[in-house]
Amino acid sequence: MATMTISDADFDEKVLGTDDLVLVDFWAEWCGPCKQIAPALEEIASEMGDRVKVAKMNIDDNPNTPGKYGVRAIPTLMLFKNGEPAGTQVGVQSKSKLVDWINAS
């Protein structure tokens, strides 16, 4: 499964309205570290798609949701479990650390 793009308009439906574990990547086109972490997130989405959905939200196009969840720096990764925030990571992390983080949730 590939990453999915989400917006302020469908965040409630695709993230909060599901019982699935969802990893939301708050990012922006101009953010170098966001581009650095993107390949690892794509690999996680394809390798762990049965365990976690990976969603990407561009903060420039969708300012409401990041503001609601206190996103102050990017990349910010938030895990949602059963529609509730379950953890946050800020900054670039290695793929193995991200996998460990997901598996611990």
Q: Concatenate the DSSP letters of all residues of 36-95 into one string.
A: HHHHHHHHHHHHSTTT-EEEEEETTT--HHHHHTT--SSSEEEEEETTEEEEEEES---H
Whether the pLDDT of residue 25 is over 80: the answer is yes
> Which band of pLDDT confidence, cut at 50, 70 and 90, is reported for residue 5?
very high
pLDDT of residue 33: 97
Beta bridge partners of 87: 79
User: Which phi and psi (to 5°) does residue 27 adopt?
Assistant: -145, 175
Q: Whole-model pTM?
A: 0.96
The average pLDDT across 18-28 equals 96
Q: Please identify which of the residues 31, 44, 52, 77 carries the catalytic annotation.
A: 31
Mean pLDDT, the chain, as a whole number? 96
34 given a catalytic annotation: yes
Q: Please identify which of the residues 6, 34, 52, 54 carries the catalytic annotation.
A: 34
pLDDT of residue 6: 98
Domains of the chain, earliest start first:
4-95 (3.40.30.10)
pLDDT of residue 1: 74
